[in-house]
Amino acid sequence: MSVDEQFDTTSLQWLIAPEPLAELLRRSSAMHRHLCPRQVLGARMGMYAGELLGLKLPQTNKRLYVFVETDGCFADGVSVATGCWLGRRTMRLIDEGKVAATFVDTLTGQAWRLVPKPNSRELAHQYAPEARSRWHAYLIAYQLMPVTDLLVAQPVTLTVDLKAIISRNGIRTTCERCGEEIINAREVIYDGQVVCRTCAGDRYYVVRHG
C-alpha cells in the first residue's frame, strides 16, 4: 500500500495550506480519502487560472471550460477549485498523460495552459527540508510555494472547435445502423447515413458473441 493510500483523511495532518486553498483541499481529499500532491497541483492551477482570466471561482455558471491532460486526483483538484466537472459538461479529458490543464473563458475566448515548472520537484525540498520522504516534500511544498515557482502559464489558442464540443442541450438523433440514440451532436454522416461514431469505425470496443 502506498503512502497516499494510508493517509488518514480525518486528521488531514499534512494539510498546512492557507485558506481558501485549505478548504479546496479538504473537499478534494474527502472525495479520495487521502490528500496527495496532484490534488494540490490541480487546485492551485484552478485558483491561478481564475486570477489570469479575472474570473471568480469556483464558478456557479458555465463560463469557464477546462481541458485536463490526465485524469485521477489531479482532475478532481482542478474541479473543486474551478467548479468545472465532467458531469456538468465544463471539463473534457484530453489524455496526454500530463499534469497540465487549459482553462478557457468561453465568453472572451481567452485561454491559458498551466503546467508545473520542470524544476518544481527539485525546489520542493527547499520548502519542506524536514519532510520524511520526497512524496511528503511534494505534498507540503506544493501548498506553500509561490505560484511563480510552481507553475508555468502559457497563453494559448485552441485548435479545436469549443462551440462544437459544448454543443446545445436537447439535440438528439438515432443511429441508422445500430439504432442507439446519439446526443450532443456527436453523429456523423457515413456512406450517406446518419450514424454514431462507433458504427462509422471509430470504436473503442468490439462486441463479443457467444
Task: Write down the pTM of the prediction.
Answer: 0.91
Q: Give the pLDDT of residue 181.
A: 98
Q: How confident is the model over 147-202, as pLDDT tens digits?
A: 999 999 999 999 999 999 999 888 999 999 999 999 999 999 999 999 999 999 99
Residue range(s) of every CATH 3.30.1330.130 domain in the chain: 4-163
Fold of the domain spanning 4-163? 60s Ribosomal Protein L30; Chain: A; (3.30.1330)
Q: How confident is the model over 90-110, as pLDDT tens digits?
A: 999 999 999 999 999 999 999
Q: Output b/e per residue, 150-187; b: 16+ Cβ within 10 A.
A: bbebeeeeeeeeeeeebeeeeeeeebeeeeeebeeeeb
